[in-house]
Amino acid sequence: MKVVPKVYKAIFENIKVPVTNSTVKTTAIKVNGNLYKPVVNETHKQVVVAGVTYIPVHKSKANDTIKTKIEINQQGKVNTFNIGNKTYIPLKCVPKSYAGVF
């Protein structure tokens, strides 16, 4: 039996990651070569375009503390768009275990 590192255990076993203030602040997802952090404490909601649900994210800054970098399971370029200073990424790119964080 292969030992799975603790960092990735939740992704492989589909165990939900607890949503805490520190989890949200230290988690980022990598889409199209850029790191994005979840939008918190704002009124921006999910947007549905042509049947695809998009979620708002912030582009990660160089000085952000990121402990968990989520890799998406989609190959190639992901369709994203900007509204104001928010970027919207498809919800289907976020692994199910991290859906609560985003």
In this prediction, residue 11 carries a pLDDT of 52
SS3 91: helix
pTM: 0.73
Measured CA to CA, the distance from residue 38 to residue 52 in angstroms comes to: 18
* pLDDT tens-place string over residues 18-65: 777 777 788 888 888 888 888 876 677 888 889 999 988 888 887 778
Residue 6 CA: distances (Å) to CA of 33, 35, 55, 88, 91:
25, 22, 27, 29, 25
In this prediction, residue 65 carries a pLDDT of 80
pLDDT above 60: residue 2: no
Measured CA to CA, the distance from residue 75 to residue 61 in angstroms comes to: 25
HSE of 64 in the Cβ direction (CA atoms, 13 Å)?
19
